[in-house]
Chains A and B, each alone.
Chain A
Amino acid sequence: MEAIAALPALVHRVSERADPDRELVARFLGGEREAFDALVRRHQKGVWRLVRRYVRSDADTADVTQQVFVRAFKGLAGFRGAASVRSWMYRIAIHASLSWLRDHKREQPADIDDDALIEPPSAPVRIAEGEDGVRLRRAIELLPPKQKLVLELRVYDDLPFKEVAELADCSENTAKVNFHYAVKRLRDILGVGHGTRD
């Protein structure tokens, strides 16, 4: 019976130990510089995609992504491990993106994407996006900020609700509820499933 009772703690400990991010952080803190490069390789795509949703230009997104990792590099020595490394980095990314937006508020055109002026989107993207895609993106833009953040972190970044809650500064249950209302509102905007219950 005692062994069964200790099982959840054991599973938790094993999963903690198996987390490659934590292992990389430990190696980095032990003086292994290459461990940070491995962290960059693991998270640069996720960070870039998250930043790109705020910063509407590819070039600026690359700059902000770089800033995120520079901040992470400097702050990793003080990483306490309360959250996962990924959500810690994503938090830095959200802050860096918001501060970039604040600094470049006047430069940002209301509707025109910077890249749209330089290079047209490639044909496959345009086809894949289609009218439905455009409608969906527009509908997401209409969501309240908190619901939008929770939905994007969950759907685009594939984060578990626990990490979504950490990044959205709310409880896990609130994150689930926000996710529900975000999807419900999207359905209302798009006119999907008129039989929505509440």
Chain B
Amino acid sequence: MARATDELLTAYLDGVAELTADERKRVEAVLADAATRADADATRELLGQLRALPGEGHEPDWAELERSIRCAVGPAMPRPWWKRWQWLVPIGALAATAAAALLWLHGAPEQAIAPRPAAVAPAAAVAPVPVQEPAAAEPSLVWLDDDAIDVDQIDPGSIEVPETIATGDSDALVLVPTTDLDWVDQLDDKSLERAETWLENKKT
């Protein structure tokens, strides 16, 4: 007997209708053998014994059990999850809108954001502060020879520019020409040391 057919023998004996026509044919073919039939009879007998076994334990009062189940379940009908969570939809939409608004505010240019009001101190501690008028554009005054001169009022054409500056002669503009620093080369070591010490002291 083929192994697969052998494995179906008990299922055939216990419920022939649950086998396909092909499976039934195969099992019936092997049941033609007398030894297999004897084996099948022993299996049938055992299945009968198993079914005849009384149930375990002592069965309860079914009406009482039904009542206890009804009490445990309660009177309310269960609602499917999508109905229980239905209220979340508008709340979710609101949260999404709020999040989008926050993102937009953070992304907007700073000038678009209204200035934050300064931290407010307790009312009792605040002294009344006179309201200041917005300051008018102040004149750019420069003191020159004891006279206040408004720089903005000066006509650039009326300014007399020294010839050296006007012509851009850089040699003429140098206040201390480099040639006059020759005396530095003529200093002895002692003088240089003193100068360095003086400079160090100045730094510290």
User: Within the complex, which residue of A33, A61, A161, A180 is in contact with B77, where a contact is CB–CB below 8 Å?
Assistant: A33
Q: Of B45-53, B103-111, B191-199, which stretch is located at the interface?
A: B45-53
Q: Of B5-13, B158-166, B168-176, B177-185, which stretch is located at the interface?
A: B5-13
Chain B residues lying within 8 Å of A145, measured Cβ to Cβ, are: none
From A180, which residue of chain B is reached at the shortest CB distance?
A: B10
Chain B residues lying within 8 Å of A197, measured Cβ to Cβ, are: 1, 6, 35-36, 39
Contact A155 B50 (CB under 8 A): yes
- Looking at the assembled complex, report how far the CB atom of A126 sits from the nearest CB atom of chain B, in whole angstroms: 10
User: Within the complex, which residue of A36, A115, A155, A193 is in contact with B51, where a contact is CB–CB below 8 Å?
Assistant: A155
- Looking at the assembled complex, report how far the CB atom of B179 sits from the nearest CB atom of chain A, in whole angstroms: 103
User: Within the complex, which residue of B18, B47, B59 is in contact with A155, where a contact is CB–CB below 8 Å?
Assistant: B47
We find that the number of chain A residues with CB closer than 8 angstroms to chain B is 60
Q: Is A90 an interface residue, CB under 8 A from the partner? A: no
Q: A31-B77, A70-B73, A195-B38 are in contact. Are A161 and B65 (CB under 8 A)?
A: no
* B-binding residues in A (CB < 8 A): 31, 33, 36-37, 40-41, 44-45, 48-49, 52-53, 57-58, 61-62, 65-67, 69-70, 73-74, 76-78, 115, 119, 121-122, 125, 128-129, 132-133, 136-137, 151, 154-156, 160-162, 176-177, 179-181, 183-184, 186-187, 190, 192-193, 195-198
* A-binding residues in B (CB < 8 A): 1, 6-11, 14-15, 18, 35-36, 38-39, 42-43, 45-47, 49-51, 53-60, 62, 65-66, 68-70, 72-73, 75, 77-81
